[in-house]
């Protein structure tokens, strides 16, 4: 019982210290004009509109095009290429991003088929294989393109939305 109480107190103390540190850092940035200017420039460069719907992203040229992606999506691309799997939300957002970049349905299916047919190196417990779940994957991709289910036209969230929701653009890649 004492162990649980001490662990709880320790976690609470860490959370309080983190909140104080975060507030202090924000105040430091706001008080120093050099840091404030740099912070504004970084935020503008990361959170600016990044999707060009006139791009022609395909399963064949995606590695070249990924160099132009915003940091959060470029990171997901690299994780997918390395581990051949993404978590559910990472796959959801990345698929929508690719759709908004101009990747057509056939290329999206080919791209995901190629990645999910490879052996995975994934610690998150993701064991989905294209071969075992092909219909499910195709349905999901078609659903994101508004061709299945409720036929909703989904759009990808911008970097700011992902950052605000998850407090980090890279949290999706676990």
pLDDT of residue 99: 93
- What is the helix (H) or strand (E) element at residue 30, kind and residue range? helix 2-31
Residues 39 and 123 in one domain: no
CB-neighbour burial class of residue 1 (10 A; exposed 0-12, middle 13-18, buried 19+)? exposed
Q: For 70, phi and psi rounded to 5 degrees?
A: -65, 160
Domain region containing 128: 62-166
Highest mean pLDDT among 5-14, 27-36, 74-83, 163-172: 74-83
pLDDT digits (tens, 9 = 90+) for 72-127: 888 889 989 998 888 888 889 899 999 988 999 999 999 999 998 888 776 655 66
Q: Is this prediction's pTM over 0.75?
A: no
- pLDDT tens per residue across span 21-35: 777 776 776 777 777
Q: Is the domain of 141 the same as that of 71? A: yes
CA dist., res. 54 & res. 77, Å (int): 20
Residue 24 covered by a domain: yes
Same-domain pairing of 147 and 88: yes
- Residue 167's pLDDT is 56
Task: Please indicate, yes or no, if residue 56 is contained in any of the structural domains.
Answer: no
Q: What's the full length of the chain, in residues? A: 174
100 & 42 share domain: no
**Tally of domains in the chain:** 2
In a domain, 171, yes or no: no
């Amino acid at each position: 019982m004492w162990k649980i109480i001490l662990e709880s107190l320790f976690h609470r103390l860490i959370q309080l210290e983190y909140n104080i540190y975060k507030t202090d850092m924000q105040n430091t940035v706001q008080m120093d004009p050099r840091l404030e200017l740099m912070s504004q420039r970084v935020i503008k460069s990361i959170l600016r509109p990044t999707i060009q719907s006139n791009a022609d992203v395909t399963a064949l040229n995606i590695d070249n095009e990924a160099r132009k992606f915003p940091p959060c999506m470029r990171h997901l691309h690299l994780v997918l290429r390395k581990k051949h799997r993404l978590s559910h939300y990472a796959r959801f957002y990345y698929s929508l991003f690719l759709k908004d970049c101009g990747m057509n349905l056939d290329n999206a299916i080919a791209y995901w088929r190629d990645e999910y047919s490879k052996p995975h190196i994934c610690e998150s417990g993701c064991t989905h294989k294209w071969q075992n779940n092909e219909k499910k994957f195709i349905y999901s991709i078609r659903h994101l393109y508004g061709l299945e289910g409720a036929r909703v036209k989904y759009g990808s969230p911008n970097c700011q939305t992902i950052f605000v929701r998850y407090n980090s653009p890279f949290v999706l890649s676990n």
